[in-house]
Amino acid sequence: MPEGHVIHRLAARYKEVFANGVVTVSSPQGRFADGAARLDQTTLTETDAYGKQLFLGFGFLGWVRVHLGLYGKVTFGRAPTPAPVGAIRLRMENDEAFADLRGPTVCELIVPAEKRAVVDRLGPDPLRADADPDLAWRRISRSRVNIATLLMDQAVVAGVGNIYRCEVLFRHGIDPHLPGRELTAGEWQTIWADLVTLMRDGFEVGRIDTVYPEHMPETMGRPPREDEHGGEVYVYRRASQPCHVCETAVLSARISGRNLFWCPTCQKR
């Protein structure tokens, strides 16, 4: 599932390509046909992103809410727009470009009150200037649930996915099994500040890099990571491989439906 920085990049891309101009909107697949018919030949006025929720604004007509889920994907291309191939839920196009949305968990046309209701259910988003980390801390500090699970709970922190949660806990030596209420306020402030930095970097460059300069491949003389997600990481998807810091084998376990990765030496209780 895409992490929050990907959704913010999509919001920026939609705005760059389509905002303030008339767009042709269609649903070749047919599952968003009614919404597309209402929006066709209207103007995309604004875009927004909150956590893993993408919003495309069409003035008084409302917002298209998109949640990519595990399989959703957006592809952009230049005109002329090709004939649709596959299950395209939402296609937007103008004279210069097109964007195709495939396989989202959610694609719906909603009114502003419904958008607010979606956002109100979410925790603070580290990529938003209006984020209040204290809201997340109040939930974390009262919880018996482990911190690894809490960081993936979108009602606690919005936009953090499996890569960021594994990596930020490693970077600060925090046992992922630690109950939220045993985390200190100082540790939470450090985690939050690092999430802001890492996710902003991800937004800027379009990939996740979490390794400090002294642990980069060229510094350590090791081969670069080869993974479809790209970027250099400490523990994510490195089960049984040696930790870049202490050489202990990285562990993995299934927690809350996702694979957690951590170093048992660097992240002791």
pLDDT of residue 49: 98
One of 2, 104, 126, 176 is an active-site residue; which one?
2
**Residue 257: per-residue pLDDT:** 83
Low-confidence ranges of the chain (pLDDT < 70): 229-230
Catalytic one of 3, 93, 167, 232: 3
* pTM of the predicted protein model: 0.94
84 included as an active-site residue: no
pLDDT digits (tens, 9 = 90+) for 229-250: 668 999 999 999 999 999 999 9
In this predicted structure, what is the pLDDT of residue 150? 98
Q: Catalytic residue among 128, 200, 258, 264, which?
A: 258
> For 142-183, what is each residue's pLDDT tens digit?
999 999 999 999 999 999 999 999 999 999 999 999 999 999
Decide if 2 is catalytic.
Answer: yes
15 part of the active site:
no
How far is the C-alpha of 225 from the C-alpha of 98, rounded, in Å? 33
Residues 6+ positions from 176 with CB-CB distance below 8 Å: 146, 147, 148, 165, 166, 169, 255, 260, 262, 267
Active site residue 218: no
| Among 9, 28, 52, 115, the one annotated catalytic | 52
What are the distances in angstroms from CA 92 to CA 74, 124, 162, 216, 226? 11, 30, 30, 40, 34
* pLDDT (0 to 100) of residue 229: 65
